[in-house]
Amino acid sequence: MALEDAKSQVDQAFTRDASRGSSFENAFGGATSFLRRRYTKDLTDFDLAVTGVPFDQAVTNRTGTRLGPRAIREASTLQPYDPPYGWGFDPLAEFAVADYGDLAFDYAKVADFPEALTQHIRGILAQGAASIALGGDHYISFPILKAYAEKFGPMSLIHFDAHSDTWVDDDMERIDHGTMFYKAIKLGLIDPATSVQVGIRTINLDGDMGMNIIDAPEVHETGNKAVAAKIREIVGARPAYLSFDIDCLDPAFAPGTGTPVWGGLSSAQAAAILRGIAGVNLQGGDIVEVSPAFDTTGATAIAGAHVAMEILSLWAWTRRG
């Protein structure tokens, strides 16, 4: 069946009729949507929308994450043939997932970007779907969290990163990918007591804002199962949002990013921890800071595509029929 489908399926980003199920379109051909899902802005009868946010004007070092959504979509074409390994169910068969396309914004009016993104996510949530955002730099989490907090109240943040991104910055008009979680806590978008940061391996002289931190050495020393159990204990049953900065992974596994730091997690560690937190009350998430120009192998975008699938699977886990 799969071979026969491969002979006939093409451009399923536009031509597929079913909102559920696998895709057997050749990975190397056709129009690229995330996991070969249909491009649509009408989320009637869809459960979840994946959207690109090609914004990288808040970075402190290397740019290029504006090309991340495109690269992640392309890398994801290797994945929709089979259910994701290790989960024991097929989220693409059980849930209707759309590719909502990218956020449209005026790159020359940077100050208008945050509200444009918040409104974009509001539009997804208002249609009854959850969102997974493909970044873009990490600042995008801040406008997204505004929309989520409006609907769910203060979120429990599950944050994978090399950096805490809680540097003090009381100017809410500044657009900076290292200060947005400080702002989110100050504005009540995040509940730090039930939030957790994983993989941190840089010093923040401004402090942790009350966040629970599982740094990279602790991950290496205590192991994946212990880390996953600690995350589940911290977050509990509260509505959660998962933000995964690809630089949480060691540069050996994800060199294509703007602020790489050695000593990070391996892809295998990240996969095990993400699967180990199944059951958290996940409402949405993002994968950010994939900068494909700095990785000629494409490994960083591949990792980003797998993280997005893991977020999708985590979201689906608690909603299976």
| Distance from C-alpha of 88 to C-alpha of 271, rounded to nearest angstrom | 15
| Distance from C-alpha of 73 to C-alpha of 52, rounded to nearest angstrom | 9
Is 138 labelled a binding residue? yes
Is 163 labelled a binding residue? yes
Q: Is residue 30 reached through a cis peptide bond, with omega within 30 degrees of 0 on the bond before it?
A: no
DSSP state of 87: S
Helix then strand count (H, E) for the chain reads 11, 8
| Distance from C-alpha of 232 to C-alpha of 317, rounded to nearest angstrom | 14
| Distance from C-alpha of 243 to C-alpha of 180, rounded to nearest angstrom | 12
Is 176 labelled a binding residue? no
For residue 212, give both structure tokens.
Answer: 């629970």
Is 165 labelled a binding residue? yes
Is 137 labelled a binding residue? no
Strand ranges inside the chain, DSSP E: 48-53, 97-102, 130-135, 156-160, 196-200, 212-215, 240-245, 282-288
Is 161 labelled a binding residue? yes
Point out the annotated binding site for Mn(2+).
138, 161, 163, 165, 245, 247
Point out the annotated binding site.
138, 161, 163, 165, 245, 247
